[in-house]
Chain A
Amino acid sequence: MNRNPQLNASGELHHLLTLEGLPREHVVRILDTAESFVSIAEREVKKVPLLRGKSIFNLFFENSTRTRTTFEIAAKRLSADVINLNIGASSTSKGETVLDTIDNLCAMQADMFVVRHAQSGAAHMIAQHLNATSQTHVHVINAGDGRHQHPTQGLLDLFTIRHYKKDLTRLRVAIVGDVLHSRVARSLIHGLTTLGVPEVRVVGPKTLIPTGAANMGVQIHHDMRTGVRDCDVVVMLRLQNERMRGALLPSAGEFFKNYGLTEEKLALARSDAIVMHPGPMNRGVEIDSPVADGKHSVILPQVTFGIAVRMAVMGILGGVNA
């Protein structure tokens, strides 16, 4: 079995599970390929025939309308057939295991699975199952697993940063808020490190910064003002209320006072700083409306780029044979 289950025996990208340990050339290739897909959205026919005749299953064990929609649009722009399964409401509630569900869908000639699961490692487990059962023509994309990884979000963040800042080797990037529960933060940190961004900061209260953060090669700031000072990129994370267990925070209002991005705090960053947010935003909790709608915000372009990046990932994976 491969040490890196994302790559096949020839070193090609076969599944996309995590940005941790994904070699730089694969990251760069995805971003470069996505550049060519951006322009397709501006054409009269917003479709290319690349994945015609392929069946892509969106397996969302955890709800996410936006991520599922962007994957669906990406697959349809590649001419694939897309089947959305709301797993929570079907087989698994009748007692079927995840891997039995996968085998059944493979028996329906699935070509690719896009997997979102509340459990860390779910997509990884499915990929290993496919590899171990010789169903190696089927590809898996991790669309978010628990607190672990959300690689396509990390890639679209990297794409956005590269689009606006060009040279990544001189940047200072701050990731602010609920880092503890954020798979977006984890994926982005790995990606930024891979592409050689020299200074990555995580900013948040002690209770929302994972204990091992320093081991990921990032600087830790508990004071927002020093945390965003002179930064080129400020990535705001969503305060994940639904993930909060126990009293990690006094209140949303208190959080906004200390860590909410206001125009006054943003003024401490570089004058040409960009503000990003993976969505959905909690206005008035982690980000103030004038900032979210302001000239530094690239939050909506992130969404548009996300489609191109997901097309690139699907396009590259779909052409890789076992």
Chain B
Amino acid sequence: MSDRLPDAEELVRVLAEQMQGAIAHEARLVGIHSGGAWIAERLAGMLDGDHPVGSIDVSFYRDDYSRVGLKPTVKRTSLPFEIDGARLVLVDDVLYTGRSVRAALNELFDYGRPASVELAVLIDRGGRELPIEPTYCATRLAIVESGTFVLQRADDGTLTLAVEDAPARSER
């Protein structure tokens, strides 16, 4: 299976090409921890213009907290710009049920009222449980329900994709 996995670096380039010229020139990128944050950083370096990058950890907004508790490692949400009136692009590695994006939207709105929010993802694996669709998507890729795509970052910053056994579907 892993030999058929797409090259994550290539997917980031595809995503950047789609976004180039399509996103607002003053758009700010908000990456969802941890994969989305890595991708947002890379996109900012590849896209023309100045696109400040923030990152968001949605742990405090997840809908499965009462079942699975708080993640052992919660990262600090860091949005070093005004959210009120901003044009935002939310960035994540894999779009699945849509629940993480729902949580991220809720968190963003606790910081202010953005003018608009778009969604950019590397992989759309289907299986949506909420009416959420990506604005930019590098590839659509199915996977068995018991598996999960995991984005990894090497010490030199290189991104790679792997497939691991998934926790229960509700945890995505």
Which of A32, A35, A38, A48 lies in contact with B60, CB distance below 8 A? A48
Give chain A residues whose Cβ lies under 8 Å from the Cβ of B74.
Answer: 32-33, 36
A33→B70 contact, CB < 8 A: yes
Give chain A residues whose Cβ lies under 8 Å from the Cβ of B106.
Answer: 49
**CA of A69 to CA of B74, assembled, Å:** 25
B72→A50 contact, CB < 8 A: no
Give chain B residues whose Cβ lies under 8 Å from the Cβ of A320.
Answer: 69
Measured between C-beta atoms, what is the minimum distance from A278 to chain B in Å? 26
Measured between C-beta atoms, what is the minimum distance from B104 to chain A in Å? 13
**CA of A14 to CA of B38, assembled, Å:** 34
Give chain A residues whose Cβ lies under 8 Å from the Cβ of B107.
Answer: 48
For chain A, residues 35 to 67, give those with C-beta under 8 angstroms from any C-beta of chain B.
35-36, 38-40, 43-45, 47-50
Instruction: Answer whether residue B77 sits at the interface, using C-beta atoms and an 8 A cutoff.
Output: yes
Give chain B residues whose Cβ lies under 8 Å from the Cβ of A35.
Answer: 76
Known: A32-B74, A36-B75, A48-B60. A321 touches B112 (CB 8 A): no
Which of A48, A316, A319 lies in contact with B61, CB distance below 8 A? A48
Instruction: Answer whether residue B92 sits at the interface, using C-beta atoms and an 8 A cutoff.
Output: no
B110→A29 contact, CB < 8 A: no
**CA of A38 to CA of B70, assembled, Å:** 16
A321→B110 contact, CB < 8 A: no
**CA of A29 to CA of B106, assembled, Å:** 25
The count of residues in chain A whose C-beta lies closer than 8 Å to any C-beta of chain B is 22
Measured between C-beta atoms, what is the minimum distance from A210 to chain B in Å? 36
Known: A47-B110, A48-B110. A29 touches B76 (CB 8 A): no
Instruction: Answer whether residue A306 sits at the interface, using C-beta atoms and an 8 A cutoff.
Output: no
Which of B57, B67, B70, B78 lies in contact with A316, CB distance below 8 A? B70
A319→B69 contact, CB < 8 A: yes
Instruction: Answer whether residue B22 sits at the interface, using C-beta atoms and an 8 A cutoff.
Output: no
**CA of A40 to CA of B79, assembled, Å:** 11
* Nearest residue, chain A, Cβ from B72: A29
Which of B69, B73, B75, B76 lies in contact with A321, CB distance below 8 A? B69
B61→A44 contact, CB < 8 A: no
A39→B68 contact, CB < 8 A: no
**CA of A44 to CA of B107, assembled, Å:** 11
Interface string of B110-125 (1 = CB under 8 A from A): 1110000000000000
Q: Most chain-B CB neighbours within 10 Å: which of A12, A35, A43, A316? A: A43
B69→A49 contact, CB < 8 A: no
* Nearest residue, chain A, Cβ from B73: A32
Give chain A residues whose Cβ lies under 8 Å from the Cβ of B72.
Answer: 29
Binding site for B on A (CB under 8 A): 12, 29, 32-33, 35-36, 38-40, 43-45, 47-50, 315-316, 318-321
What would 5 more interface pairs be, CB under 8 Å, given A38-B76, A43-B111, A48-B60? A36-B75, A36-B76, A48-B107, A315-B70, A319-B69
Binding site for A on B (CB under 8 A): 57, 59-61, 65-70, 72-78, 106-107, 110-112
Could you jot down 21 A-B contacts, CB within 8 Å? A32-B74, A35-B76, A36-B57, A36-B75, A39-B76, A39-B77, A44-B110, A44-B111, A48-B60, A48-B61, A48-B107, A49-B60, A315-B60, A316-B70, A318-B65, A319-B65, A319-B66, A319-B68, A319-B69, A319-B70, A320-B69
